[in-house]
Structure formats: structure tokens, C-alpha cells
Amino acid sequence: MLGNFIYSNPTKLYFGDNALSGLREELPKYGKNVLFVYGGGSIKKNGIYDEVTTILKECDKNIIEDAGVMPNPTVEKLYEGCERARKCKADLILAVGGGSVCDYAKAVSVSAYCDQDPWEKYFLHMEDVDNKIIPVGCVLTMVGTGSEMNGGSVITNRAQKLKIGHIFKDNVMPKFSILNPVYTFSVPKYQMISGFFDIMSHILEQYFSGDDDNTSDYIMEGLLKSLIYSTKKAIDDPIDYEARSNIMWIATWALNTLVEKGKTTDWEVHMIGQSVGAYTDAAHGMTLSSVSIPYYRFIMPYGIHKFKRYAINVWNVKTDGKTDREIASEGLERMKQYMKDLGLIMNVKDLGVTEDMLEGIAEGTFLLDGGYKRLTKQDVIHILKESMSVQ
């Protein structure tokens, strides 16, 4: 049965190869001071920096740069950004980059005027925002997180070996996002495929919960089939506009809060993956790919109906003469082969995980109730050990 829910998403999207023109339309809505947030400088090499700054200057904005946002934004970087935002009295935070840059911008937006330690308030205690919020806009250059159209923000505390996400409410979501698929063409292959699996994982986290004929499940099956098809095309030709535009749009719909409606949702792969990331600083999508097959094999017996459906509807597994378990297992095998063909990391050892880290990673994994089985700490250790044996 479809559960009760409220759906709202206030983010305005500009999509297509002329999407940046939307920035000229949006900027007049905000004050003069723009905190321009970006990562390691790739946007200067590919020309996006010049395109954005030209429009900012044409719109008579003061540009205050906040560069150097790392792939897994740290709490120290968050504190630095908060100080910069306050000092310049930012009227808008413009994030130009991938999901980490967007996540960081949202964290700064809620934290700059927080009168407590934002790490403790928002990421450890998961409290609501009750202070001034600086509006955020995004210009997306890499797909995967869906951060351009949701309230999520993930921050890493290296000292505490914790990587934690907070899903903020509608008032923290980006006010607008610019999605030009061409901007994703120059992303290195490793980061590109990492983003591809982040998209897939977002869909699976929501799909593998409940056993009814929820409309959301049908939508997700369509998204998965389109993703599989388009990612294969993008691997063959990274500048295939049709493939990259479809992937960009799938990524947004995978995590803009629509397909979760009526679902309990799982998110345990993300919890384990984020804990792995806290220890290794590995690319987010690769932490997810390294634990997904062991995790789904482990929980499959508890949700066999959905895993069978997944095998048939997404991977086209034939059912003749097979048990439900055989059908479901074949679906996971086809998923594993697809992942290997993309070039994803399948073994946590390849991310730098060692045996002596397993207890700590398990300890740092949040255990949730939305999936088919609530894990124990020992279950997490078992899943990590199974990953270490994946060939």
C-alpha cells in the first residue's frame, strides 16, 4: 500500500547546453555579495570558471572566492567557509562543481550563522536549522549525488573518523541549479564511473524496501534500465551528449525526494560506504560499489520477492525452471558483471581498507531500520570481510 506523504521540491532547474543563461535570470534576485565556491581548479582548465565569473561581473556582483573544496569536505573546511561567508556578508553561495561542492555550500549556508558548533548541532545531533540561512545556487559539473535538487549535505570529521550526512528541509535546498551535460564531459573516467554508481546506489537504496506494487518502484526500474543503457554508451564515448544528458537527468531524479515517496528506504550501503570513506578518504561512489554486492547478497533472503522482481524487470533474467533464489542471485550476478565492466572498485582492500580497520568502520556505521534486515555490528564486519574476498 502506498503510504501517506507530502511532496515538495522548491529547486528551479535550468537544463541543457544553454542552461547557464539561467544564471543571468537568477542573480538579480539576490544581493551583491556572492560567495563563489568551487573545488581544486578543474573549472579553470575547462573554461567554466571564466563563463561563470563573466556573468557574475555582468550582473554587478562582488565575487568572493572559496576554492579548494575537497571530494569529501571536511569539518575544518566547513569552519573556514563559515568564517568567509560571515566576513563578506554573503547574499548568495554559488556552488560550481560536483556533489561535494554542492554539499559543502549547503553546509556553509546553514552553519555560517549558527551560534553552536555546526558539526555537533547538525551532523552529530541532527537538529533542525533555527538560524539565518544563506541561499544556495548550483552550477553542476559532475553527476552522481543529486545534491543539486535535494537538502542533503555530507561532511567528514577526520579526527573522529566519521562521515555523516544530514538531510535538511526544503528551505535549505538550492534555490536554483544549472545542469549543462556538456560540463560533465571533462570529468576523469575514475570520477565519472564513481558518479555513475552513486546514481545506481541511490535508486537501489530506495527500491529495496517494501514488497508492494508501489508506483515508485516502477519509476525506479525505468530509471535503472535507462542508467544501465546510457552508462554503457558513455563508457564507449564520454562526449555522447544524449547519454550524458540522460545520466545527468537520472541522477537528479534518483535523489530529489520523488521516488522515495511511499517507501521506507534502506540506506545501509551508504552508511557502510560513508564509514569506509571516513577511514580511507576514497571516492564516494567507489566506497558504495565495494560493499554493494556483499550487502545485497546478505540481505537478499529477507527480501527475496523484491530481488526476484529486480532480476526480471531490470536485468531481464529468464525464470523458466529456476527457484526464486536462483532468479534473484542471477540478477545480482548480472549487476556484478555490469559493475566490473564499468571499472568500479569491488573490493574494499583496493580502497585501502585493512583488517585492523574493520572494527572501527563497523563502529562508525549507522544502523537503520528501513531495509529488509537491521544489521548488527558483526553483520557489518561480515559484509566488509566478504568484500575483501570479491574477485
Residue that is written with C-alpha cell 558518479 in the block: 195
Q: Note whether 155 and 206 are same-domain residues.
A: no
Residue 168 in domain? yes
Residue 59's nearest CA partner among 12, 14, 98, 20 is 20
Positions of the chain with pLDDT lower than 70, given as ranges: 1
Residue 108's nearest CA partner among 249, 382, 4, 88 is 88
Q: Note whether 263 and 373 are same-domain residues.
A: yes
Radius of gyration of the chain (CA): 20
Residue 248 in domain? yes
Domain end: 140, 161, 183, which one?
183
Domain end: 183, 205, 227, which one?
183
Residue 155's nearest CA partner among 170, 167, 146 is 167
Amino acid 1: pLDDT: 64
Residue 154's nearest CA partner among 89, 260, 40, 77 is 77
Three-class secondary structure of residue 61 per DSSP = coil
Amino acid 213: pLDDT: 82
Residue 147 in domain? yes
Residue type, 136: V
Three-class secondary structure of residue 323 per DSSP = coil
Residue 279 in domain? yes
Grid cell at residue 331: 540478477
Q: Note whether 364 and 379 are same-domain residues.
A: yes
Q: Note whether 229 and 339 are same-domain residues.
A: yes
Residue 2 in domain? no
Amino acid 359: pLDDT: 97
Amino acid 4: pLDDT: 83
Q: Note whether 170 and 280 are same-domain residues.
A: no
Task: Count other C-beta atoms under 10 Å from residue 367's C-beta.
Answer: 14
Give the domain extent around 123.
12-183
Residue 263 in domain? yes
> What CA–CA distance (Å, rounded) separates 298 from 372?
10
What secondary structure letter does DSSP report for 69? Answer: -
Q: Note whether 234 and 123 are same-domain residues.
A: no
Q: Note whether 222 and 364 are same-domain residues.
A: yes
> What CA–CA distance (Å, rounded) separates 276 from 348?
8
Beta bridge partners of 35: 64, 93
Amino acid 124: pLDDT: 97
Q: Supply the CATH number for residue 248's domain.
A: 1.20.1090.10
Residue 5 in domain? no
User: Each residue of 189-223: pLDDT tens digit?
Assistant: 999 999 999 999 999 999 999 887 889 999 999 99
Grid cell at residue 237: 564515448
| C-beta separation of 307 from 332 below 8 A | yes
Q: How far is CA 30 from the centre of its chain?
A: 27
User: Each residue of 97-142: pLDDT tens digit?
Assistant: 999 999 999 999 999 999 999 999 999 999 999 999 999 999 999 9
Grid cell at residue 155: 561532511
Phi-psi region of 177 (alpha: psi -120 to 50; beta: other; left: phi over 0): beta
Three-class secondary structure of residue 199 per DSSP = helix
Q: Note whether 105 and 236 are same-domain residues.
A: no
Q: Note whether 119 and 158 are same-domain residues.
A: yes
Domain end: 164, 183, 202, which one?
183
Q: Note whether 118 and 202 are same-domain residues.
A: no
| Global pTM value | 0.96
User: Each residue of 211-259: pLDDT tens digit?
Assistant: 878 899 999 999 999 999 999 999 999 999 999 999 999 999 999 999 9
> What CA–CA distance (Å, rounded) separates 140 from 291?
27
Q: Supply the CATH number for residue 68's domain.
A: 3.40.50.1970
Amino acid 96: pLDDT: 98
| C-beta separation of 251 from 227 below 8 A | no
Residue 177 φ/ψ, nearest 5 degrees: -140, 140
Q: Note whether 166 and 298 are same-domain residues.
A: no
Residue 327 in domain? yes
Q: Note whether 125 and 216 are same-domain residues.
A: no
User: How many domains would you assign to the chain?
Assistant: 2
Grid cell at residue 23: 544564471
